[in-house]
């Protein structure tokens, strides 16, 4: 009489562990590795100019880290678009206590000046 070991449950468990490992490994690598990129003589310069607009809890605007008002942001966008041929994109970071209307007003402001690509900066929640 020849008896065989049933390996089906073992294979099932190993596949589940492999899937869990593959999913979590990508998050671990992405969040923890600090990479210093090499330089290349044939690399291209960035063709996009990033405009960073911050709205603090009091509703005050900051442009690239410096205090600004809506008119200063308009002037900066116009001057930068004349000076540089780079496409401009905006990153808008607003305090979570700021009203939705203030964020929409800043989005309208940058869109009125010709910046149609923008991102809303958020924090990744801890799990």
pTM: 0.59
Give the pLDDT of the chain (127 residues) as one tens digit per residue.
778 888 899 999 999 999 888 777 655 544 444 545 556 566 555 566 788 888 888 888 989 888 899 999 999 989 888 887 778 888 888 888 888 899 899 999 999 998 888 888 776 666 5
Q: What would the CATH number be for the domain defined by 48-121?
A: 3.30.420.270
Q: Where are the domains of the chain?
A: 48-121
Query: What is the DSSP-derived secondary structure letter of residue 116?
Result: -
């Amino acid at each position: 009489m020849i008896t065989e070991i049933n390996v089906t449950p073992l294979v099932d468990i190993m596949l589940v562990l492999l899937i869990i490992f593959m999913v979590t490994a990508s998050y671990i690598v992405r969040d923890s590795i600090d990479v210093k990129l090499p330089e290349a003589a044939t690399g291209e310069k960035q063709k996009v100019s990033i405009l960073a607009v911050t709205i603090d809890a009091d509703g005050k605007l900051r442009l690239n880290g410096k205090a600004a008002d809506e008119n200063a942001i308009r002037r900066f966008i116009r001057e930068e678009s004349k000076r540089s041929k780079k496409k401009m994109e905006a990153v808008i970071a607003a305090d979570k206590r700021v009203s939705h209307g203030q964020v929409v007003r800043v989005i309208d402001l940058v869109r009125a000046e010709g910046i149609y690509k923008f991102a809303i900066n958020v924090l990744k929640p801890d799990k």
